[in-house]
Each structure stands twice: as C-alpha cells, then as structure tokens.
Amino acid sequence: MIKKIGILTGGGDCPGLNAVIRAVVKSAIGTYGMEVAGIYDGFKGAVEKDFKPLNLDAVSGILHRGGTILGTSNRDNPFQYPVTTDGKTEYVDLSRQVLDNFRTAGIELLVAIGGDGSLSIARELNELGLPVIGVPKTIDNDLFATDYTFGYQTAVETARDALDKLHTTAESHHRVMVLEVMGRYAGWIALAAGIAGGADVVLMPEIPYDLSKVCQVITARANRGKKYSLVIVAEGAKPRGGEMVVERMVEGSTDPVRLGGIGNKVGAALEKCTGMETRVTVLGHLQRGGSPIGFDRILGTRYGVAAVEMAASGKSGIMVALQGSEIKPVPLADAVSQLKFVPLEHELVLTARRIGIGLGD
C-alpha cells in the first residue's frame, strides 16, 4: 500500500484545478490513510524540492476557487531545466534530481495534473521509474483518449457569455463583432461557444478559411436585413494556404509559441470586404480564470478520486480519462501520443452547418 503521494499542477491554469487537488487530498487521507505532499509551481517545485504537506484544512474552502493553490509553471521542464551561471543560461537534464528529491521525501507516486506538455514530462519521469498517474487538464479539450478535460466547459461558458454581450451591442450599432478565443490547434471552444452563443461564423484551426466565403455570409445577412454579425475565431485559425498568426516566442517554455492577432487580422479584412464597421474583442486569459462551473467541479472531483483509487490499487503510468459516462485508466503514452482535433464529420460541425453557421469553407 502506498503511504505517501505527491501532487502538482503544470502548464497553464484553468478552472477546476483546486477541485482535483481537494478530491485527491480528501480521498487519500480519508479513505486510504495516505499522506499527501503538495509540489509547488509545477515541475519547478519538483526540481527544487519545494514540497509542503497537504492536510484537510489546506483544501477546505477551495472547491469554488479558480486557479491552483499549488501554483503552476509552463517553463520548467526538468529534462531541459534552465540553470544560470555567471550570467549565462544553459538547459540541463535534472530529471534524476527530481527522482532523488521524491525518494528522500518519501513520495512513492506522483499525481500530475496537466495538459499534453506536462503529461509528456510526467510520462518521461514514469519511464525513469517514478510511478505517475496523470489527470487531464486543458481548456482546449484537445487531450487524446478522454472525452472531456476539466476546465473546458467553463471556458466555453465564458466565451458564450461574451458572445451574448457582444450580440446586443452589435445589433444596436449595426456592426460586425469578432471574438478571438483560445484554441491553438483545436477549435473545440470556438465551435461549442459559437453554437451556444448564436455566432454567425466560426473559424477554427481544423478548417482553413476562405475570407471571401466569410464575407458572403455576412453580406447575405445584411441583405436580409440583419445588419450585424457575430464571428468567433480560435487563436490558431488560419486562412487557406496561410499560417497561424504568431505574436511571439518564449524561450524555455515547454510550448514556446504564443499566438495572438488573428482576431484583428480577420476583423480588418471583414471591414474592408463588407464595408461594415467591425470591432474585435480578444478574450485571452479570461477563459482561464474564475470559478469553475458545476460540470468542471464534478469532473475534477471524479478525476481526483479516481486517481487516488488507481494509485491505491497499484496502477501507474496511466491517465484517468472520461469515456462515455465512466472514468477509466488509459496509458500515459496513448494520452500524449497525439492531440484531439475536431473531426470534420463531428456532430457539432454538422450541427453548426445545418443551422447556417458559416465555417469559412
């Protein structure tokens, strides 16, 4: 029986992280009598041995809170860890140091909460001999082998709420409103929020857009007397034959590409081709923040409980995943083997088309 587990949150924050932490601590202590060590600031804490005990008092009152009480980082990969000496930064492999830190702290298994980048690191540590159980976290919902990641539904609600508010001002001023949302390689947020928020056009990475087709949708609406339109665009959307709009690169990050600017690019082009006044809103990190909705609180809690149950039963090298209505273990290697894109024949895509939403093609 495992006596002590560690838990960390890696990568970008999202609503529901604290629900998972709370569930892990409450079930580990209350059901199995385990100790739980919180590892602070993601894998940085694992390298620098920033561990603190987590008891029931530590997780009291955190279910509704956004963010993570453990802190997080998307820059500190222990296999390529930044070490500065005499003003010069080099990237070195400190993965063995992580294993030594866990061993001396008595941590027998790591619960790693993260997206594809963090769970890829967790898989490598597992291959070095550290038992790991992953919990799927990303607002993009693009982790393979699970139907839903926690945080996604809350992000969809945030985007849907923004569309609702943009709708009234668009209609009042006869404008085209463009809303840029997250979604680097997968358009799940844009598609779901677009359907829920009554968007007229949804642009996402899986379907390169033809600007003339987008203009046709907006012009046709204007000709029918609808002198406003709502366009939602994922940050990773790109024109047919073109590339994603990259704002900057971040050295040392597990995913150094920072996207941004597609909303302004699309907005300027639409104003030119339609002759209608256009405004752009970039939702940005609002999608990551705030209190999780009920769905994500429940899913995060289920994931946390399942992770501890599987640890107690001797499982490791797995990720807990929602498949249908059940939480099941899937190999970590499978979970991070590829991203989950929106299939072009997916029911949501077909639903959008059948209610007249333009997808840019």
Residues composing the chain: 361
- pLDDT over threshold 80, residue 257: no
> What distance in Å separates the CA atoms of residue 119 and residue 112, rounded to the nearest whole number?
7
> What distance in Å separates the CA atoms of residue 139 and residue 271, rounded to the nearest whole number?
30
- pLDDT over threshold 70, residue 254: no
Q: pLDDT value at position 261?
A: 85
Angle, CA 280 vertex, CA 278 and CA 285 arms, to 5°:
170
Mean pLDDT value across residues 310-326:
96
pLDDT digits 0-9 by tens, 125-134: 999 999 999 9
176-181 and 201-203 beta bridge pairing: unpaired
**pTM for the complete prediction?**
0.93
Scored b (16 or more CB within 10 A) or e, 181-194 reads bbbbbbbbbbbbbb
140 is a catalytic site residue: yes
CB 22 within 8 A of CB 57: no
CB 179 within 8 A of CB 263: yes
Continuous segment of H or E residues that includes residue 259: strand 257-259
Mean pLDDT value across residues 58-76:
94
13, 41, 116, 140: which one is catalytic?
140
> What distance in Å separates the CA atoms of residue 51 and residue 7, rounded to the nearest whole number?
9
Confidence of residue 252 (pLDDT cuts 50, 70, 90): low
On average, the pLDDT of the chain sits at: 94
Reference 155, options 117, 182, 185; nearest CA is 182
- pLDDT over threshold 70, residue 279: yes
Q: pLDDT value at position 250?
A: 66
pLDDT digits 0-9 by tens, 149-202: 999 999 999 999 999 999 999 999 999 999 999 999 999 999 999 999 999 999
Domains of the chain: 4-150+292-335 (3.40.50.450), 154-288 (3.40.50.460)
Confidence of residue 245 (pLDDT cuts 50, 70, 90): confident
Q: pLDDT value at position 302?
A: 98
